[in-house]
Amino acid sequence: MSNIDAIKTALEERLQELTVRTKEIDDDLREPSDDDWSESAVESEGDEVLEEVGDLALDEIAKIKLALCKIEDGTYGVCTRCDKKISAQRLEALPSATTCINCS
């Protein structure tokens, strides 16, 4: 893995971006609802979407953190299921991947 530093930087940037986004979502969800019932109905629908986006972001954050840990301990790029190397192409497309294409 020659470009591990580039991958690490990309992962850290993505992590930062996601952290900011989840915080924004969190703030948004905490905003008090409007008193007007029709508007608050729309708002709660929007909240559900926000929660879903937030869950996805949290999921990705967990994966990125795992990938960063793996970079630290030198096991990055090795499939967690079959112990084979994950292809460079796959890692380029999905730097937070912890399984090879066959095991994903």
Nearest approach, Cβ of residue 78 and Zn ion (Å) = 9
Residue 103 found at the interface with Zn ion (CB under 5 A): yes
**Residue of 49, 82, 88, 93 that binds Zn ion (CB under 5 A):** 82
Burial class (CB in 10 A: 0-12, 13-18, 19+), 74: exposed
Residue 13: strand, helix, or coil: helix
Q: What span, in angstroms and rounded, lies between the C-alpha atoms of 49 and 58?
A: 14
Give the binding range for Zn ion (CB under 5 A) out of 1-9, 15-23, 54-62, 80-88: 80-88
Residue 79 found at the interface with Zn ion (CB under 5 A): yes
